[in-house]
Chains A and B, each alone.
Chain A
Amino acid sequence: MTAADGARLEVTLCPGGPMLLRGATEVRDEDGNLHPVERPVVALCRCHRSDRLPWCDSSHKAPRPAPDP
């Protein structure tokens, strides 16, 4: 992740949920793609269940699919 020039980058870990980022301008995902940050605070997925990676889409709270029998 990249911070704005002279800006403070702040990371907050949320219990059982995402990581909040303040002050970032872009985030590089696991495949090397760069995602511009378009809101003052963004939530990065930590559970790898999001459909909108790298962002959290609250899938970490969704009921987990029943395990295969």
Chain B
Amino acid sequence: MSSRHTLRRQLSRSADSEGKQAPPNGPMTLPTPCGTLSESVVSGLTASAGRRSFPTDSDVRAVTDPVHDRDFQLALWVLYELHHRGLAGVDDTLEWDPDLLGARRRLETVFETAVRDLVELPDPMPTTSSEVATELRRMTISGTEPELPAFLAREASHDQFLDYLAERAVYHLRESDAQCFLLPRIGGGAKTALAEILYDEFGAGRPDRLHADIFARALADLGMPTGLASYVDDADALTLASVNVTTLFNLHRRLRGAAAGHLAAFEATSSIPCRLIADGAERLALPASVVDYYVEHVEADSVHEQVAITGLCGNLVDAEPDLAADVILGAAACLTIDTLAADRLLARLREQPDRIAS
């Protein structure tokens, strides 16, 4: 894969000159397209007005398995980035360009249908807030030790651990940004609970404790780039899908129940894996900032889980009982896609143990 060279080149460069830089906050450079859809989006974004064209209905309908399709996921990821930090060389007004929004909508419709087809939902569906909370707890209880974190704890080599961090950077460098879109769409106790979680995610008043920045610091201390661009170019379809489904749920008010359930499932399946990953970082004697990031999440997510399940989802269902099924859908989507992504990543780390070094 040619894009792999980008990360390798940046890895060696950042080790000597860029290792200590603050995480870049500005727009990232456009990722390298990898197929018809991402090519169409990237060239559309950079073409001059009047010459822009974006993925058409038939382009999008040609995709048979959007969740596993890297080209599809990259195209959607790029469109979503316009609503976050923007993209270098792309006109900022395109964020609300009707043609572009139309293309985004086409991708989202296909993606949402695929996600709904993929997940298994409980039958009967819970309807009350306490049933929803009980179901969320049931769904997120770990019967067995999670495989990928256990591998990182006990077996992974230094290079495999760095490869893991590189793959997950697409998520961690944007941690909790998507959920900010949910905040104005909910009220009362649900809003208070979400704000409480987000306040903690964003450092609880201390910029040095901002979770995304702790992660960037860990990357820098390892001599890895702190910008998103190189990681996106190498990210697997499922990694992009796991980020995109979060953005999809949070960006649409219609899907606010799913956004809440997604966050609850995410928080409720984070603490135990983070403890294992922290063990791995300690075993490999990685810099303190790497351990710090994961240890922070052992404690924080034990809190966030409780606040997300009862405070956010419970209060949301009390206020809007019709959202019960969507909360469960969001949780199921999180668990399903994140499990697929973790399985794929573990298989790759085992098959290509030297991927990041070679």
User: A residues within 8 Å of B by Cβ?
Assistant: 12, 14-18, 20, 38-43, 51-52, 55-59, 61-63
Contacts and interface: CB of A to CB of B under 8 A. Distances in A.
Interface string B263-304: 000000001100100000000000000000000001111110
B144 A58 contact: no
Contacts of A40: 196, 199-200, 204
A58 B200 contact: no
B303 A41 contact: yes
B351 interface: no
A1 B185 CA distance: 36
Contacts of A42: 299, 303
Nearest to A13: B306
Interface in B115-160: 133, 137, 140-145
B143 A43 contact: no
A56 B137 CA distance: 16
Contact of B306 (A20, A51, A52, A63): A20
Contact of B141 (A15, A59, A61): A61
User: Chain A at the B interface: mostly helix, strand, loop or mixed?
Assistant: loop
13 contacts: A12-B306, A15-B137, A16-B137, A17-B306, A40-B199, A40-B200, A42-B299, A42-B303, A55-B302, A58-B298, A58-B305, A62-B142, A62-B145
B171 to A, nearest CB: 20
B299 A52 contact: yes
Given A39-B299, A42-B299, 17 more contacts: A15-B137, A17-B305, A17-B306, A18-B302, A20-B303, A20-B306, A38-B204, A39-B200, A39-B204, A39-B303, A40-B199, A41-B196, A56-B303, A57-B298, A58-B275, A58-B298, A63-B144
Interface string B179-212: 0000000000000000010011000100000000
Nearest to B300: A39
Contacts of A61: 140-142, 272
Contact of B301 (A12, A14, A52, A58): A58
Contacts, number: 65
Interface in B283-341: 298-303, 305-307, 310
A46 B302 CA distance: 12
B274 to A, nearest CB: 9
Nearest to A17: B306
A58 B196 CA distance: 19
A15 B305 CA distance: 12
Contacts of A38: 204
Contacts of B299: 39, 42-43, 52, 55-57
Given A41-B200, A61-B142, A62-B142, A18 B306 contact: yes
Contact of B275 (A17, A41, A51, A63): A51
A43 B165 CA distance: 27
Contacts of B272: 58-59, 61-62
Contacts of A51: 275
A12 B314 CA distance: 14
A42 B296 CA distance: 12
A6 B302 CA distance: 27
The 7 closest A-B pairs by CB, nearest first: A58-B271, A56-B302, A43-B303, A14-B306, A58-B302, A43-B302, A57-B298
Contact of A43 (B196, B204, B306): B306
Given A40-B196, A41-B196, A63 B145 contact: yes
Interface string B203-238: 010000000000000000000000000000000000
